[in-house]
Structure 1
Amino acid sequence: MHVWRSLQDLPADLGRTVVTLGNFDGVHLGHRAVLGQVVDRARTEGLASVAVTFEPHPIAVLYPERAPQQILSLGQRTDLLAQTGLDAVLVLTFTREFAQLTPEEFVRQVFVDALHAAVVVVGKDTRFGVRNSGDVGTLRELGDRLGFDVVALEDVGEGGRWSSSMVRSQLAEGDVEGAAAVLGRAPAVRGTVVHGDHRGRELGYPTANLSQDPEGLVPADGVYAGWVHRLDVPDDDPDRCLPAAISIGTNPTFDGVQRRVEAYVLDRTDLDLYGERVSYDLVRRLRPTIRYDAIEPLLQQMEQDVAQCREILLAPVAS
């Protein structure tokens, strides 16, 4: 999949396309329903499929005090968009000047002149242009005049519309299973493994600490069962994906103040992950973070946590 970072990056020989528009934060099942329609329509008609997205989030530019926490970094977002079968993603830098484009100016510059859209596929609540003044009705009128079809899709979801705000709320509560049901996959945090206090190794549970600038929305403090994906290791390496107990928090038993994301790979003390890029997929929250007054009860709890992670992650699948 091509990732174009500006209109100037588009190839001169780009033919007609099927296009969609959105922030796609989370690339959740609602997004995937739209993206699937884009890819299917493009393949049917022999056209290129393109998603147009923004960086940074428009609200972060226009109303920074109201900006939502992002579920995914741009890198995570484009990686997941690539998995949908799209041919390309156009990432437009969102600025206050860009926000002043009228709906028609935006459509002409991006959809018509740059992408040569034959079809535009959007959700029924899509808004665009200055002060979000353009809607699906505007898009249909412009399509009639400028020569492209518009497909507007109904909301999708089970027990409510799937949305990025729903996922943010679930992660804030530590409900990674609920978030996974909306995302269609386990929520993930990724980064580079760095040195910590080495306290876990002293306790018999060596952990891999993520750097302090991880990609992905970090959920509520607690202990989670999950998987460590070693992104620098070949896909067919048996140690690429490993079961783990993942801790998020400040280590209150040791009066910690720095919030950390760290993982103990189950029953492995031989791994040296320092400097590696990893992704931690969070499967289930076991418990909140607890402060203990002594080491012994902490060790007993850690043993229970590890046993529970084994049961969750390594239990045989019924045939």
Structure 2
Amino acid sequence: MQVQTNMPTNKEPCVLALGNFDGVHLGHRRLLEHGLRQAERLGVGLSVLLFEPHPLKVLQPERGIQLLTTNQERLKYFEEIGVNTVFLIPFTREMANTTPEDFVVRILMPLGVVRVVVGFNYSFGAHGKGSPELIQLLGKQYGFGVSVLQAQMLEGRVISSSSIRKALLQGDIALASALLGRSPSLSGTVIHGEERGRLLGYPTANLRSNEDILIPKRGVYAVWANINGAFAAGMMNIGMKPTFHDMYGTSVEVNFFDFNGDLYGQELTIHIEERLRDEKKFDGINELLLQLKTDKIKAQSLLKGLL
């Protein structure tokens, strides 16, 4: 898969999927699969257009955004699905002021678009004034086809990034997994922490994630990661360490059950399988250790089938 960060000219014909694709969830996958079928029918490749950074970072910098995936994760999922090219275009104030028609003429047409695939709620151009209906009209004017996919449903529920965010903030891993079509994940760099876990017999990898990435509800989770090509089962704590601190920022710590190597500085993707319990303040170390033992047994049992 090619990733292009500059606007190309005289590009080979393509079917182009438009959207933010945060999470690359089940609904996004159905849209991309539709695009793949259209591309195969037309004898061209499937491309995706993304803006970097997220438009809200430019338009509303004071508003925190909670993304489900990093850029690298999105690119990995696109490649797995069969996307041929990703156009990663800088989003600027100038770009934000582009009219819908200028967006089509200046951005889409140079990409060699023969067909566009969008979702039912796609918007584009200045102030989001462009709609699926407008891009269909502009497609007729400028000579490309348009497919508009309606809301994708799962058991009567609309599949959307916002629904997944809500599920994760509520700790509902089963619902988030169903809507994503896979287990939710959290990526970050392993950093030094307080190293208390090592003294307690439960050494942890402390994860620092991108500030724009959503952190699920505080609590303890059964998780796994691929470390140097090997499956590593573990349990993750998201919380404020109430047993040891009255006030502390939210931290993400993972105890891997059968891994003893040095992970400092490594980028890890933690796959979340189930939420085990709420965060709790314990009456001393012994009570905490008893709970950690119980958590570990439960997590090992849950993760056994993934080995």
Distance 1:27 1:316 in 2: 22
Q: Residues 293, 275 of structure 1: CA spacing in aligned structure 2 closer, same or farther, 3 A cutoff?
A: same
Is 2:232–2:259's contact at 8 Å kept on the other side of the alignment?
Answer: no
Segments of structure 2 that go 5 or more residues without pairing to the other structure are none
Distance 1:36 1:218 in 2: 29
- Give the RMSD, CA atoms, in angstroms: 1.9
Is 1:5–1:92's contact at 8 Å kept on the other side of the alignment?
Answer: yes
Stretches of 4+ moved more than 6 A in 1? none
Is 1:206–1:269's contact at 8 Å kept on the other side of the alignment?
Answer: no
Distance 1:59 1:304 in 2: 42
Question: TM-score normalised to the size of structure 1?
Answer: 0.90
Q: Name 1:223's counterpart in structure 2.
A: 220
Q: Name 2:231's counterpart in structure 1.
A: 241
Deviations for 1:233-262, whole angstroms, at most 9, x for unmatched residues? 2x4xxxx22111111112111116132211
Distance 1:270 1:134 in 2: 53
Is 2:219–2:239's contact at 8 Å kept on the other side of the alignment?
Answer: yes
Secondary structure of the structure 1 residue equivalent to 2:301: helix
Question: TM-score normalised to the size of structure 2?
Answer: 0.93
Q: Name 2:252's counterpart in structure 1.
A: 261
Is 2:16–2:49's contact at 8 Å kept on the other side of the alignment?
Answer: yes
Secondary structure of the structure 1 residue equivalent to 2:206: strand
Deviations for 1:187-237, whole angstroms, at most 9, x for unmatched residues? 11112222222211111111111136478421111100010222xx2x4xx
Q: Which of 186, 198, 206 is the aligned partner of 1:189?
A: 186
Q: Residues 147, 67 of structure 1: CA spacing in aligned structure 2 closer, same or farther, 3 A cutoff?
A: farther
Distance 1:228 1:176 in 2: 16
Is 2:66–2:212's contact at 8 Å kept on the other side of the alignment?
Answer: no
Q: Aligned pair 1:281/2:252, yes or no?
A: no
Is 1:17–1:119's contact at 8 Å kept on the other side of the alignment?
Answer: yes
Secondary structure of the structure 1 residue equivalent to 2:35: helix
Q: Which of 187, 198, 201 is the aligned partner of 1:201?
A: 198
Q: Name 1:134's counterpart in structure 2.
A: 130
Alpha-carbon offset, residue 284 of structure 1: 0.6
Alpha-carbon offset, residue 272 of structure 1: 2.5
Is 1:212–1:260's contact at 8 Å kept on the other side of the alignment?
Answer: no
Alpha-carbon offset, residue 271 of structure 1: 2.8
Alpha-carbon offset, residue 276 of structure 1: 2.3
Is 2:45–2:84's contact at 8 Å kept on the other side of the alignment?
Answer: yes
Distance 2:274 2:178 in 1: 12
Q: Name 2:102's counterpart in structure 1.
A: 105
Q: Which of 76, 80, 83 is the aligned partner of 2:77?
A: 80
Q: Which of 107, 111, 118 is the aligned partner of 2:114?
A: 118
Deviations for 1:143-190, whole angstroms, at most 9, x for unmatched residues? 111111111111102122111111111111122221111111111111
Q: Aligned pair 1:34/2:31, yes or no?
A: yes
In the alignment, residue 161 of structure 1 is paired with which amino acid?
V
Q: Residues 66, 157 of structure 1: CA spacing in aligned structure 2 closer, same or farther, 3 A cutoff?
A: farther
Distance 2:167 2:265 in 1: 31
Distance 2:209 2:34 in 1: 38
Distance 2:65 2:212 in 1: 15
Secondary structure of the structure 2 residue equivalent to 1:105: helix
Alpha-carbon offset, residue 14 of structure 1: 2.7
In the alignment, residue 5 of structure 1 is paired with which amino acid?
T
Distance 1:141 1:208 in 2: 53
